[in-house]
Chain A
C-alpha cells in the first residue's frame, strides 16, 4: 500500500539571488494511512509552507508530492478542487472563515461544493458543529464568535466532509487548555477511526498526543521520531 503523503525533495524558494529564502530546503516525508503526526519547530522553520504543499494549496519550486499515490503537480484545476474538497480537511493557523456568513453556512460550504444538498448537508454540518460543541452558536457570524469558537468552526468545516486526511496548522493556538484538551480528544477519536492526522504545533502537550513527531529547522527535517507514550 502506498503512503497517504509522499513528499520527495521538496524545495520552496521565495525571492531570488541574494535575497532568496529557502522556506523548504529539500524535505522528504512519507506519512502512511492512519498515522498521527505532529510537526514541530521554531517559528519560520517552514512548517506552514510544508503543510500548504501537503494540502495542495501551494506549489513547490522543486520536488515531487504524491497524495494517495497521485502526483499533485500533474492535476488540473478541477481535479485539484476535488482533491482539496474530498481528500483533505485543512485547518488554518488563522481560521479563514468567510466573513459575514454564519457558522452553519461556513461549515456547509465544502459540502455544497461537493454537490451535497438540502437536508443531508444541513444534518452533516450540524453534526460537525455538535462534535466541536458549537450546536448553540450555529447562526452566529465569525465576528460574533470568540477566537476559540472560530477555530472550532474551522475544525467543524474541515471535519464535515469526513476527509481521510486532516491537516491542522496550529489548531490550538487560540484555545484555552480546556478547549485544547477537547480538540485533542477529538483528534484522537478521528485518528482512532482510521484517518490520518497531521498537526503543526509549538506545544509539547499537543505533540504528546501524536504517535510520531517530526522536527524542522531552517526548511529541513532535523528529526523524525516515534512518540513513546
Chain B
C-alpha cells in the first residue's frame, strides 16, 4: 500500500469523524493558546512592575550611608576609614546651586519603623519618612487632597503628616482624615494631606506611606544621627550623570574621602535600582514558570482526555481493519498521520489564537508574548497530541483482531 493511499485514509478518517476531529483540534488549540496567553500575561505584569518602578521617580539619585550592613563586603573595608553618617549638612551642601548647578534639590530622609493608630484602628506604614518638602517632587509623590507640609513646618518641627491611601483606609474609614490626629509610636501627628495613589510595584505598597517634617520625626522617633538617605533630584534626566559627579565631589569633600574606591556613602540611581529589582524579581520568574507549568498541564490533560475518549471507537475500528487484512504498519502510519495533522493544525490554531488573545488587556495588564513560550506550548501540545493519538493506536494494532473488536 502506498504512502499516498495511507495519507488519503488518514484524511478520510479525520473527515468522517468531524466531531472528534473538531474536539481534538480545539483541545490542542486551547491548550496552546492558553499557555501563550497566560505566559504573555505574566510577562506583561512583570514588565508593568518595572514600569511602575520607573514611575516611582525619574532623574533622582539616592545617597545611602555605607556604614552598617548595607554594603556587604565593602562594609568591613569602610570600617577601617573614618566613616561619617549622612547629615543634614550634606543635604544642605548638595542643595547649593553654585557648587551643584545640575542638582535641582536634595532632601534628607530619616525613616522610622513604627505603628500608627487612630482610635482603635492601627496601621504599620511600609515607609515612614521624616524629610523636607523637596522630597515630594524628588520622589515623584504628589498630594491629591489637603496640602504639603512646608519648610516652615520643618523649621518649627510641627507634628504634621502627609499620608498615603493605604493608611487612609486602614485608619480613617468613614472619617475625613484631614485635620485628624493619629498617633505614631505614641506621638501625635496631625494629618494635613493625602498623597495621590501610587499603587504597588509588586514588592512594596507605594501607598502605605507617612511623610512628616524631618525635625519632628527626628525629635520624637529616630533621633538626630540616623539619616537613612538623601534623595537628590537632578535638573533633568539628561544631566543625571553631571549631577552624579557633583554629588560625588560634594560628598567626598563633606566626608573627607581620601580614596574614591572606599567611600563611606554610596549612590543609587534609577538605572541601578531597576537593575537590582529585575535581578531580585526571581519571584516573578518562578511565578511565570509555575503559570507555564500549570497551563501546560491543564492543556495537556484536555488533549489527553479528548484523545482517550476516542480510544474505544478507534480500537474497534483497528480490529475491523486488521480482520480484513490491514498490515500493522499501514494502521500505525495512518493513525500517526491523523495525529500529526490534528496536532499540527490544532497547534497552529492555538498559536494564532494565542497571538490574537494576547492583544487584549486583562485586568489592566497588557500581555506581552514571550517568543519561547510559543515554541514551548506548540512543542509540548504537539508532542502530547502525537503521543496520545498514536500510542493507543499502536497498542490496538498489536492486539489480535478479536481482542480489538471486543475492546471496551
Contact = CB atoms under 8 A, between A and B. Distances in A.
Interface in A92-138: 92, 96-101, 105, 109-110, 112-115, 117
A96 B328 contact: no
A59 B16 contact: no
Contact of B328 (A52, A78, A86): A78
Contacts of B2: 115, 117
Contact of A110 (B16, B325, B329, B400): B325
Contact of A57 (B321, B326, B400): B400
A81 B324 CA distance: 8
A32 B9 CA distance: 37
Contacts of A86: 325
Contact of B322 (A81, A98, A105): A81
A58 B327 contact: no
Contact of A114 (B16, B323, B325): B325
B12 A105 contact: yes
B402 interface: yes
B330 A55 contact: no
B317 interface: yes
Contacts of B324: 84-85, 90, 109-110, 113, 157
B175 interface: no
Interface string B190-211: 0000000000000000000000
Contact of B402 (A58, A77, A78): A58
B315 to A, nearest CB: 13
Contacts of B317: 98-99
Nearest to B328: A77
Contacts of A208: none
A63 B186 CA distance: 99
Nearest to B398: A77
Interface string A173-194: 0000000000000000000000
B325 A100 contact: no
Interface in B115-146: none
Contacts of A110: 324-325
A57 B313 CA distance: 19
Nearest to A85: B325
Nearest to A157: B324
A106 to B, nearest CB: 9
A195 B325 CA distance: 19
B12 A78 contact: no
The contact size tier of chain A is 20 to 34
Interface string A33-70: 00000000000000000001001011100000000000
Interface string B141-160: 00000000000000000000
B320 A81 contact: no
B5 interface: yes
A82 interface: yes
B1 to A, nearest CB: 5
B402 A57 contact: yes
B320 A96 contact: yes
Nearest to B19: A100
A113 B327 contact: yes
B346 interface: no
Given A96-B323, A101-B12, A112-B1, A84 B328 contact: no
Contact of A81 (B325, B400, B405): B325
A105 B330 CA distance: 17
Contacts of A112: 1, 5, 9
B392 interface: no
A50 B157 CA distance: 107
Nearest to A78: B327
Given A98-B320, A100-B16, A113-B330, A57 B401 contact: yes
Interface in B353-408: 400-403, 405
Contacts of B319: 96
B80 interface: no
A117 B4 CA distance: 11
Given A59-B400, A100-B16, A109-B321, A81 B5 contact: no
B313 A84 contact: no
A84 B323 contact: yes
B17 interface: yes
A58 B313 CA distance: 20
A26 B195 CA distance: 96
Contacts of A52: 402
B323 A113 contact: no
A157 B403 CA distance: 21
Interface in B12-48: 12, 16-17
Contacts of B401: 57-58, 84
12 contacts: A52-B402, A59-B400, A82-B327, A84-B401, A96-B323, A99-B317, A109-B326, A112-B1, A112-B9, A113-B325, A113-B326, A157-B324
Given A57-B401, A112-B1, 17 more contacts: A58-B403, A78-B328, A81-B326, A84-B325, A84-B401, A85-B325, A90-B323, A92-B323, A96-B319, A96-B323, A98-B317, A98-B321, A99-B16, A100-B16, A101-B12, A113-B325, A113-B330
